[in-house]
Structure 1
Amino acid sequence: MRKLRLVFLAATSLIGMAALQGFAPAPEDRSLIDIERASVRYREPGEFIEGTRPVNGPIGEIVVEKPFSIMKRQVTRGDYERCVATKACKALDGTGDPSLPAVGVSFYDAVAYTQWLSRETGQNWRLPSDREWALAAGSRYRDDAYTEISDPANPSRRWIATYNAEAAAEQTIDPAPKPTGTFGENEHGLLDLSGNVWEWTSTCYVRHRTNPAAGTATEVENCGVRIAEGRHRAYMTGFFRDPKAGACSVGIPPANLGMRLVRGEGRLREWLGL
């Protein structure tokens, strides 16, 4: 009981310290969804080369290994502009309704925003990993393998088949940002997944190469390219804001680039050593 009382008093003191240091609570409408138990059939991202031919990445069921909390909605332009006002974030191009999702956001813009929000709130905000995004998306997560065609003598056959399959599956997308909730809610309660805003993840692009004859395998990570998730997976150059100029994968580029953040364990738990 005495130990519990000491922890409570320490917590109360540290909360007061946080207030004195200027930490502000996150806006009330930035509600979070706790992802504690979820599973999804997930394909490993990146490029996979077997010998000399491109192949699909491995696929299998993944589950939540460590629970996490993710924003119910995407970060809005108004959210982002508060960061711009402090000069911690680079201004977005053009103007827009502050209540609509922030779009035209590069990976580095998104990282700057997470750092600013963490400082402002005293909480640990970050981009989700691709696996976390897929688990949170659930039924909205879409496998990015469109064909099993593989012709070592003519790799373009696979590229063309992938493009045609993706184009046939893709509906015409109005790129104009839409009000929160326009694209509905998934089974976990997250809004607007796989709508017209693709969301940055922290996951880097990786090229996997195997040589079955020699029994060797190599991986080369390129963090200048990150994964953005939405109606389909996209590999995007990190500093691009316009997805039509920065898509690194064959197929239709995203309509918009935005973000939705994960909140990690707060500083209070770190201070208390919990």
Structure 2
Amino acid sequence: MGNKTRTVTPHGVETTDDPDDFAAASVYDKLNRPIEELTPFDKDDPSITTPDKTIKTYDAVGNLTQVSAPPSAGQNVRNITRYTYFDNGLARTSTDPWDIVTSYDYNPLGQQTRRTLTSAGGSSNRTMTWDYFPDGKLKSRSDDGVPVGAHVALVDNTDTSNTLAVGPWTESTAGSGYTGFNYHTAPAGAGANSFTGHRSCPPMAPTRCSSATPKASPALPPTPRTPWTPEPRRHPRPSTRPQAAVPG
């Protein structure tokens, strides 16, 4: 059918003993749709002895409904993005591996008029809109950005450069409803364990800390709450310059 099934990278061209060395491959289904993408690999390199695989899934009418990408470095949970559609085939929503949802809306001509990003759990969102002239040219656009007072600074337990764990913390993927690849729990005790997140917040902005706990089945034993400490805010020093009088 003329589909590209294999690409040999320059490193692979220089290899004479292995025809699959550093070669990327694509696999198609009976309907001629790409269902697997395999990354280049090298059987002689301990870090990439086998190819990573991205898997694509479609619905009954051919819309792409899911992309399952390989786990991130050091993880064992695949990065899955899901898509839904309107009856006319236009994209309705997309949900990334961190449960951030992007929703879309259109005018009767199929032009995108609204796009809203909603954080995991729905605590904040950002909306962009577009308007058009009758001939289809863009008339205006708007972006409400991050609403004042709703700045979100995310720190996940796997964000090792911005977290500090003290005491024994056990990694788990049991249950459901948590955000990210996994979560950590600590045994009940005298409160010696702590898990601290470091993230700079905007000066003078209100700070709210929250955590997502999994829905476990069977239920997990109670775990004592430990401090989740944001980076201290740096408030600007009051100006010592004389202020000009404002006319009444």
Fold-level match, TM-score > 0.5?
no
TM-score band by shorter chain is under 0.3
Larger radius of gyration: 2
Q: Give the structure-1-normalised TM-score.
A: 0.23
Hey, which of these two has a bigger chunk of helix by percent?
A: 1
Give the structure, 1 or 2, with the largest relative contact order (CA under 8 Å, sep 6 or more).
1
Hey, which of these two has a bigger chunk of strand by percent?
A: 2
